[in-house]
Structure formats: structure tokens, C-alpha cells
Amino acid sequence: MKTYLRGEAMANAGQMILVVEDELPMLNLLKKILEDAGFRVLMAKDGIEAIDVYSRHQSDVDLVLCDMALPKLGGWTVYLALKERNPQVKMILTSGYLDPKVKSDMVKGGVRDFIPKPYVPETIVKSVRQALGDQQS
């Protein structure tokens, strides 16, 4: 991983990100990107597992980074379920393509940001920091 992430890692020390992605290579990539940037990472492979992991670690999770197209429950459904548990939940959704109207409606519903696929490490780290309120981005 590029050293630009390592040099800024201390600013993110201790912050926990729950990454929800059903494709194992993508899940591992996101984990590496975020850990190299100094974040702690929890992982889930589908929507039901995401809700379970969040429920068990809610007090530790600072942000959820979740794919839209997941088995069992999609990203938007996961967001709504987590928002019921914690109205202040911070979530970023990812997708290969999302209709602009749908995206707009989801932002109005409280989603912090959308990250397009394919993933670009700099974009992921910047979006996560912005969603967490870090002005260093």
C-alpha cells in the first residue's frame, strides 16, 4: 500500500469501521486500505451478518462502509435497520452504478456518501475521513 496512507494513519488511530462486502477479494482490499490508513476494521459478508456484527459492536463502530448489492439484505435495507438501532449511525454506501435520483433520495435519508466501484484507495480514505468529520482530508 502506498506510504501516503501510512503517514496519516495516526490521525485515524482507534476509529472502527465496519466493512460490508460480499466479494472476498474486495472485502480484503478494503480492510487493507483502511488498516493502512490507521483504522480498525470489522468485516461482514452480507446484510444479515452486518446487522449482527453492528449490534454486537455498536458502541465501537464509528462508521459503516457497505456495498449496495449484498446477499440476504441490500445496503439500503442494512442502513435502515442500523438507523433503527442507532439514529446517529454513519454509513457510506458503495456501488458499481447508482441512479442519481436514488442516490439523492438516500443522501436525504441520511447516508453520508457514496463510493463508486472500482475502488480507489485515496477516494475511500478521503470519504471515510469526511464522513467521520475529520477536516484533514
Rounded Cα gap, residues 31 and 85, in angstroms:
25
Which domains, ranges and CATH numbers included, belong to the chain?
3-131 (3.40.50.2300)
Report pLDDT digits (tens) over 76-112. 999 999 999 999 999 999 998 778 888 888 889 999 9
Give 13's pLDDT tier (boundaries 50, 70, 90).
low
Backbone angles phi, psi at 88, to 5 degrees: -95, 10
What nine digits make up the cell of 97? 452504478
Q: Is the pLDDT of residue 121 over 90?
A: yes
38-86 tens-digit pLDDT: 999 999 999 999 999 999 999 999 999 999 999 999 999 999 999 999 9
Asked whether residue 114 carries a pLDDT value surpassing 60, the answer given is yes
Q: Which helix (H) or strand (E) holds 25?
A: helix 24-36
CA of 75: how far to CAs of 3, 5, 8, 40, 68, in Å?
A: 31, 27, 29, 21, 4
